[in-house]
Chains A and B, each alone.
Chain A
Amino acid sequence: MTNKKGLAFIILLTGFILSLFLCLFYKLDVENSQIILSYIRIPVVLKAIISGSCLALAGMFLQTISKNPLADPYLTGLSSGAGLGIVISILFFNSQNYSLFGFFGALVASFIVIALSGFSKFSITKLILIGLSLNLFAGSIISFLILKNPEKSYPMTLILTGGFSSADYFDKILISLFIIAIFMCVLVFPKLNALRLDTRLIFKSQENANKYNVLFILIAAFLTSISVYSAGILGFIGIICPLLSKLIFGLDARVLFFANLLLGSTLVLFSSFLASNILYPVQIPLGVVIAIVGAPFFVFFLFKKGGILNN
Chain B
Amino acid sequence: MYKLLISIIVTFFLLFSSVLAKDLSFVSLEPSLTETMYALGAQDMLKAVSSQCNHPVQAKEKPIIGDYYFINEQLLFDIKPDYFLFGELSFFMIDKYEQFGIKPVYFKNSDIESVYQNIFVLGKLTNKDEQAKDLVLDLKNKILNAKKMNKNPEKKILYVISMHPFITIGKKSFITDIIEKSGNHSVTKNIDTSYPLISIEYAISQKPDIVLIDIHCKDESMIQDLFPNAKIIKMTQEQTDFTDRPSIRIYKSIEFFAQLGND
Instruction: Tell whether A pairs with B.
Output: yes
| A276 closest partner in B (C-beta) | B199
Interface status of A116 (Cβ within 8 A of chain B): no
Decide: A282 and B196 in contact? CB cutoff 8 A: yes
Interface status of A8 (Cβ within 8 A of chain B): no
A158 neighbours in B (Cβ, 8 Å)? 165, 167, 197
> Which of A29, A35, A94, A280 has its CB near the most chain B CB atoms (within 10 A)?
A35
| B228 closest partner in A (C-beta) | A35
> Within the complex, which residue of A150, A166, A169, A281 is in contact with B68, where a contact is CB–CB below 8 Å?
A150
Q: Do A29 and B204 form a contact, CB below 8 Å, given A35-B225, A39-B226?
A: yes
Q: Do A154 and B164 form a contact, CB below 8 Å, given A96-B218, A281-B202, A282-B193?
A: no
Interface status of B92 (Cβ within 8 A of chain A): no
B163 neighbours in A (Cβ, 8 Å)? 96, 167
Rounded to whole angstroms, the CA-CA distance of A84 and B197 in the bound complex is: 22
Interface status of B222 (Cβ within 8 A of chain A): yes
| A285 closest partner in B (C-beta) | B197
Decide: A165 and B165 in contact? CB cutoff 8 A: yes
User: How far does the Cβ of B95 sit from chain A's closest Cβ, in whole Å?
Assistant: 19
> Within the complex, which residue of B164, B165, B198, B218 is in contact with A94, where a contact is CB–CB below 8 Å?
B218
Rounded to whole angstroms, the CA-CA distance of A29 and B70 in the bound complex is: 46
Chain A interface residue count, CB cutoff 8 Å, equals 29
B196 neighbours in A (Cβ, 8 Å)? 281-282
User: How far does the Cβ of A145 sit from chain B's closest Cβ, in whole Å?
Assistant: 12
Interface status of A200 (Cβ within 8 A of chain B): no
Decide: A280 and B202 in contact? CB cutoff 8 A: yes
Interface status of A36 (Cβ within 8 A of chain B): yes
Interface status of B71 (Cβ within 8 A of chain A): no
Decide: A147 and B69 in contact? CB cutoff 8 A: yes
| A284 closest partner in B (C-beta) | B197
| B89 closest partner in A (C-beta) | A150
B151 neighbours in A (Cβ, 8 Å)? none
Interface status of A159 (Cβ within 8 A of chain B): yes
User: How far does the Cβ of B225 sit from chain A's closest Cβ, in whole Å?
Assistant: 6
Rounded to whole angstroms, the CA-CA distance of A158 and B163 in the bound complex is: 12
User: How far does the Cβ of B61 sit from chain A's closest Cβ, in whole Å?
Assistant: 22
Decide: A39 and B225 in contact? CB cutoff 8 A: yes
Interface status of B200 (Cβ within 8 A of chain A): yes
Decide: A280 and B199 in contact? CB cutoff 8 A: yes
Interface hits, B54-71 → A, CB 8 Å: 67-70
User: How far does the Cβ of A93 sit from chain B's closest Cβ, in whole Å?
Assistant: 10
Rounded to whole angstroms, the CA-CA distance of A151 and B167 in the bound complex is: 14
Please encode chain A, from 161 to 187, with 1 for each CB lying within 8 Å of some chain B CB and 0 for all others: 001011101000000000000000000
B70 neighbours in A (Cβ, 8 Å)? 147-148
B68 neighbours in A (Cβ, 8 Å)? 150
A166 neighbours in B (Cβ, 8 Å)? 164
Interface status of B195 (Cβ within 8 A of chain A): yes
A: residues with CB less than 8 A from B are 29, 32, 35-36, 39-40, 94-96, 147-148, 150-152, 154-155, 158-159, 163, 165-167, 169, 276, 280-283, 285
B: residues with CB less than 8 A from A are 52, 67-70, 89, 161-167, 188, 191-193, 195-205, 216, 218-219, 222, 225-226, 228
